[in-house]
Amino acid sequence: MELCYQLPVLPLDRPVPKHVLSRRGAISFSSSSSLFGAPDPRQLSQRRGAISYDSSDQTALYIRMLAVTNKTIKSSFVFTPGDVRVRSQVGFEPERRGSHPYLGVDFRTLHSRAESAGSIPARRIRRLFSFQRHLLSSRLLRGAPHLNPLHILDEDYCGQAKCMLEKVGSWNFDIFLFDRLTNGNSLVFLTFHLLSQYGLIELFQLDMVKVRRFLVLVQEDYHNQNPYHNAVHAADVTQAMHCYLREPKLAQSLTSFDILLGLLAAATHDLDHPGVNQPFLIKTNHYLAALYRNTSVLENHHWRSAVGLLRETELFSHLPAEDSLSIERQLGSLILATDISRQNEYLSRFRTHLDENDLNLGNASHRHFVLQMALKCADICNPCRPWELSKQWSEKVTEEFFHQGDIEKKLKLEISPLCDSEANTIASVQIGFMTYVVEPLFAEWARFSDTRLSQTMLGHLGLNKASWSTMEPEASGSSEDGESDPARSSEEPSSRALTQGSPES
């Protein structure tokens, strides 16, 4: 049987059929003769992302390919029932996230047999799948118009997603919608866009292929099964960091190097997060707890993981060795500052600087400290978002807490504070978090940067806290005894738990 690998055309205003799966490598078979609503595949426009096969037309195999960005890659098709994957022999096997499509590759007819697909010659596979070869031969690396230099979005998503990126500095930016529009690749596209927008790729002479591969690997190393600590959270923090970098005090004083560090730290600050907090790792004798001696365990792991990807992709290999090491050290300093158990330490220092009015942003160490505080704000800014966004984040993070509590119950361990679904509600957890962690931090940030954005964040924070407070009496009213107010009774344990790193670590 001859199979024709084509990239058919599908109008942007036509929805993707349900039988076309959006997951990378997925394959779908249809008995309908009018696949995608059009009988002639040559009349369809380009649509990437999944594979569909029409059994009534054995020459129609519609494919949406993955952009594999290794320097030299030897790949092979692995055909299993209902699944097609691209496997690499150099250790990069991206199967977890959505597709990273080629940019306008015109796939030619490839004749093969389904039974012998696993034995396709390596030469042909390299010709078909070499993303770097396409980039090197494209006009992308030979120069492009200034207005749109990088073309980071697939054509299918250029519409709404590109419009959203034009407003990436808005505090109302809906990262959930952007993640859907980019097929689950919000972290890659948003970070790439910001690096380009700030002119950092050109300024630091970064190889775009290496940048792309680094961001793909970063996104892959986030655990999507985590309800909260996943790549979408990292993209949200990166977007918030961008908003803070545009604040007048920072925009007038930060160097390009500071901005590069801030964006990279935001994108990698929770890299490879396991979905449980530090106390859980310690009491289960996890090897990471022993490795980092029970001190900033997760943050150290996030930092080391980020450094590993920087070195694997050789993103800064063209820089002097001392500069690369400096980037790694300062990146670690920023990520370690997100340790919630050190919240009071950083907050007290920030408050002292503001009281004495001695912050000098012309000083590199002071600028770095302000970057640390900006990253801390970005990391826990969800309660300061509009209610429609904030509520979703609150539900996701509480789901992750309660999942940890369920694991602790199964292991017959002491249940961590805020992680017991029977003793806590979403409202009580959020009220405690806002009261003891978010409000003090953002009040001091507003003292430092008294702008419209700061007032907007505090306004949303107050409204969101009030909204959760109106929900809490409903939970307490369901108790027959009515012995205590859960909102008040949760305050003390919430404060203690938050300083131990329960919510955001």
**Ramachandran region, residue 15 (left: φ > 0; alpha: ψ -120 to 50; beta: rest):** beta
Tokens representing 241 are: 């960091």
- 405 forms beta bridges with none
DSSP label of 436 = I
Task: Report the candidate in 268, 250, 239, 286 with the shortest Cα–Cα distance to residue 449.
Answer: 250
Residue 229 is a catalytic residue: yes
Give the 3-state DSSP-derived string for 25-61, with helices as H, strands as E and coil as C: CEEEEECCCCHHHCCCHHHCECCCCCEEEECCCCCCE
Catalytic residue selected from 19, 100, 146, 229: 229
- Residue 87's H or E segment, with its range, is strand 83-88
Q: Return the number of other C-beta atoms located less than 10 Å from residue 156's C-beta.
A: 19
Contact 237, 191 (CB under 8 A): no
Give the whole-angstrom CA distance, residue 200 versus residue 80.
Answer: 42
Task: Report the candidate in 64, 316, 306 with the shortest Cα–Cα distance to residue 185.
Answer: 64
Tokens representing 312 are: 């694997």
State whether residue 501 is helix, strand or coil: coil
Block residue for tokens 């107050």: 462
Tokens representing 317 are: 């290999």
> What is the set of active-site residues?
229
